[in-house]
Structure 1
Amino acid sequence: MQVVNIRQLKNNPSVALRYAKQDLVMVTNRDEPDSLIISMEQLSGIPNLEQVRLVLGISLFRNKQLSLMAAAKVANKSLSEMITIVSEQGIPVADYTQNEVEAEATFAEQWLHNNSNDEAA
């Protein structure tokens, strides 16, 4: 997969289009994946384009090249559908370290404790 940023795409779109004839081209905006370019020649003759889009979206999410929402857009699925699909594939939807999980749990416990005290008053 080739990668070009927005500035490169604006300055010389023919390079990105030439790359797209051979492979997928990821367009980044401020170092974040933004768009994919693929030539129509590469798509011609694909009997099940929806399945291809789904596999592409899953793959890009699994490889941490796209967010779950962006992958859902590639796959032409809603966010909830995509969450279900990647979960069924055994791909973690959230990627937290042990410390991050513990910090989130501590915050949630404190929030619940504070809110239960408010309701009791």
Structure 2
Amino acid sequence: MKYLLIMHMNPAVWDSLSEDERNEVMSGHGAFMSKIKESGEFVFTQALAAPGQSSVVRVRNGVPAVTDGPYTEAKEFLAGYYVIDCKDRDRAHEIAAMIPDAKVEGLGIEVREIVFSDGSAA
């Protein structure tokens, strides 16, 4: 079963960490990826730019209008994600708990089963 492990970022939480704590989280992703690649459960990962670098496209009366992002004002935003392939939801939770962000007070990993994929990204 494939799962999307979603990493949400809260800039206030991130900014409250020391430089050493931030470096530990960032370097921890390398160790995490090595571990799940070794187990064969890694599919792929993506890290996203901050919302301030995004744009929003809306089509009104057939005319596209592009505005600077973010899409919504929120204290948290989608920072990136992992796609894994594992035996069940319990294992997906175990893997999510290995992601360094899950160990930071105020952050967490959202686990969602992927119910459809065309396979081109996997």
Same fold (TM over 0.5): no
TM-score, structure 2 as length reference: 0.23
Whose strand fraction is larger, Structure 1's or Structure 2's? 2
Whose helix fraction is larger, Structure 1's or Structure 2's? 1
RCO (CA 8 Å, sep 6+): is it higher in 1 or 2? 2
Higher gyration radius (CA): 1
TM-score, structure 1 as length reference: 0.23
